[in-house]
Every structure is written in C-alpha cells, then in structure tokens.
Amino acid sequence: MKHHKSGRVLSREKDQRNALLNGLVSSLIIHEKIKTTCAKAKETAPRAEKMITRAKRGDLSAIKRMNQTLNKEASLKVMKIAGAKFQNRKGGYTKITKLAPRKTDGAEMAIIELINE
C-alpha cells in the first residue's frame, strides 16, 4: 500500500529519479524552457521553485545547497535570475503548458518554462 508516500516514481529507482530531476531543473534554469512529459514537468516545477527561492535568500547555506543539486552553470545563472527577475515575486516562478501527445508512444507532453515579468 502507498500510505504517506508522495511524488511520482517515473519508472526509476530513487537515485536515478533524483539525478533525472536535478538534470531537468538545471536544464530549465539554463534554457528557461524545456519540453518533457507531463509527469516529469509536474515533478520538476516544485524543485525549480525551491531553487529560485534559495537563490533569492542568497546566504551561504542556500548557495551550498544549490551547488549540491544543480550544475555549476545553472547555479550561477539562478543567482543572476533570482536577483533580477523574481525579487518582488513570492512564488509561482514556473508555468506548465500541456501539448499534444507524443506520436511514438502517446505520452502526454508539456512545456515547462520560467515566467517572464
């Protein structure tokens, strides 16, 4: 039974799932828009928002935590983005737009992007 277990498994083990989601968050921050499946997009959005909130905080522990999760290029960019774009925003930094199903296997696709103000 699945009592008190949240999140999607994404057909992967825990370490593989974390690596996948960390890579998706890094790609989202670097490119500001990525195309992926709906399930992956819904799992990526809260992680990306937490990283942006940490970057807004900007203290040493937040920077160390971002460097553990993101690659170097993404962590530098999120510090720059958080200061410029999202300083006055309290949350809701990402937007998910659903697309047509993928032709090969029918998976629901979505675009996840950072909101521009």
Ordered by where they begin, the domains of the chain are: 14-114 (3.90.1030.10)
pLDDT for the residue 46? 96
- What value, to the nearest 5°, has the Cα angle with vertex 79 and ends 26 and 82? 95
Residue 7: DSSP 8-state = S
Name residue, tokens 């737009």: 97
pLDDT for the residue 112? 98
Q: Contact, 34 vs 97, CB < 8 A?
A: no
Strand ranges inside the chain, DSSP E: 33-37, 94-98, 109-114
* Separation of CA 66 from chain center: 12
Q: Determine if residue 43 is left, alpha or beta; phi over 0 gives left, psi from -120 to 50 gives alpha, anything else beta.
A: alpha
pLDDT tens track for 52-87: 999 999 899 999 999 999 999 999 999 988 878 898
pLDDT at position 95 over 80: yes
Name residue, tokens 């040493």: 60
Give CA separation, 9 vs 66, 78, 96, 111, in Å. 23, 27, 20, 20
